[in-house]
Structure 1
Amino acid sequence: MSLKIVVYSKSACPQCESAKMLLKTRSLAYEEIKIDDEAERMAFYEKCGPSVRQMPQVFINDQRVGGLAGLQAALAQLSQ
């Protein structure tokens, strides 16, 4: 099963690094899109939804799973 994983991140973000490391340890390929500009990041959050205010934001097959905890939950479900 091939997954299209996109990680939206920002520089100097421990959760972003953890999410990427989790994907690497599972040998899952992903695309990283860094949004370091504050205005761009706020516009991105708006598109994601009213409760989104942190990085990373992870999308699997164009569905937002959320941040690090959401990624962990999604991967747990996929491995069942």
Structure 2
Amino acid sequence: MAAKVEIYTWSSCPFCIRAKALLGKKGVEFTEYVIDGDEEARALMAKRANGRRSLPQIFIDNRHVGGCDDLYALESQGQLDPLLQGNAA
């Protein structure tokens, strides 16, 4: 079963675009929350993301995995695919 992937973004954020591109390349369906200028939504995101307010913030099966660099680090370490397949411990 595929993992539930959520990503908080700003529409013109280059890091958000890179993160979405990696997910798209992998054929991952995700829920995107575009929060351009919405401080209330950003506060909710920060609460979920342990206080992190930078964008993007990415969640896989309700687990906070971090931002764009964190996503690419998981990919380079071979840990992203198991997470996306819902097989991670």
Please give the range of the TM-score, normalised by the shorter of the 2 chains: 0.7 to 0.9
| Percent of paired sites with the same residue | 37
Distance 2:30 2:68 in 1: 14
TM-score by length of 1: 0.82
Aligned match of 1:12 = 12
The RMSD of aligned alpha carbons is: 1.9
CA 1:53–1:32 in 2, change beyond 3 Å: closer, same or farther?
A: same
Instruction: Give the 3-state SS of the residue equivalent to 2:55 in structure 1.
Output: coil
Give the letter for the 1:77 counterpart.
Q
Structure 1 runs (4+) deviating above 6 angstroms are none
Gaps of 5+ in 2: 83-89
The CA deviation at 1:26 is 0.9
Taking structure 2 as the reference length, the TM-score comes to 0.75
In structure 1, runs of 5+ residues without a counterpart are none
Change (3 A) 1:32 1:46: closer
Instruction: From the superposition, tell whether residues 56 and 40 of structure 1 become closer, same or farther in structure 2 (CA, over 3 Å).
Output: same
Number of residue-to-residue matches in the alignment: 79
